Structure 1
């Protein structure tokens, strides 16, 4: 995987070797920087929902006409308000969770490629670009009140672990570790 960080954003490219090793597709993702994309990237904070179901529809629909969450009056142990709504006759209870400091969510769309002739050596790469950004996500449970034990909230623990793993180790801490010989 190649990661390139330029002044206007970051790009991630999956190489042929990784495609063979992990399966999948070859492509690149371009995430626009915040400074250069304020006007072109839509902010969907408060509008992103993770539903506990599979919707096999890809196209426009009048979601706001039918999907109308309301405050339930219940507050979780961490102070977050619980919302409720119904989807296809089933009660959903959810909570709007802010993403951790320093993290953002992105909605990606396929970048339109100029039409050109390909040579035999050229790869068919998909290119993705930022369409929207969000700082919070509302997740929903069927019939259950959201809790700290929900999978989405537990997955947020990884952010703290990752930060600790990748943080620089102070020299004093290294000096205090005894030499280990194998």
Structure 2
């Protein structure tokens, strides 16, 4: 099985999507009027946190920015495969620069996995950054002296 991602460069020039990361599984793929039935009821609380409810469960949330020089991309599978071994095709349906992250009845904190994942991106950029030949030679020289 392979997964194919289809991108259209014009989508990166389009208007950003308003995204929500909600701790719920929805077994439907129909569109919903999120502005009228969800965003309208979002309230800003003290310390910049947001509150709302989904199916009667309280939600606490906050806005997250996608790290600088990055874009969030939404992929949708338009046709489900007939079996597990079939190739899958996902098409990009939009881009976003920020999203609202929600927890059930708990204020988002630095211990949330999504926040930790976003914090590690700048660290990985530093670790994977370019290294000059002089830096490599200096490292090898110091390593040889220490061993």
Residue 85 (structure 1) aligned with residue 52 (structure 2): yes
Is contact 2:71-2:96 (8 Å) kept? yes
Query: Structure 2 stretches of 5 or more lacking a match?
Result: 80-85
Instruction: Identify the match of residue 106 of structure 2 among 144, 147, 157.
Output: 144
Instruction: Provide, for residues 106-153 of structure 1, a one-character-per-residue CA deviation record: whole Å limited to 9, x for no partner.
Output: 1123468xxxxxxxxxxx644333211001111111111122222211
Residue 160 (structure 1) aligned with residue 119 (structure 2): no
The match for 1:131 is 93
Residue 50 (structure 1) aligned with residue 6 (structure 2): no
**TM-score, structure 2 length as denominator?**
0.77
2:7 aligned counterpart, secondary structure: strand
Change (3 A) 1:110 1:53: closer
Partner Cα distance (2:99, 2:60) in 1? 14
Q: Which structure is higher in helix share?
A: 2
Query: Structure 1 stretches of 5 or more lacking a match?
Result: 1-24, 76-80, 113-123
Structure possessing the higher relative contact order (Cα contacts under 8 Å, 6 or more residues apart): 2
Cα distance, 1:38 vs structure 2: 5.5
Q: Which structure is higher in strand share?
A: 1
The match for 1:63 is 34
Aligned-residue RMSD, C-alpha: 2.7
Is contact 1:42-1:131 (8 Å) kept? no
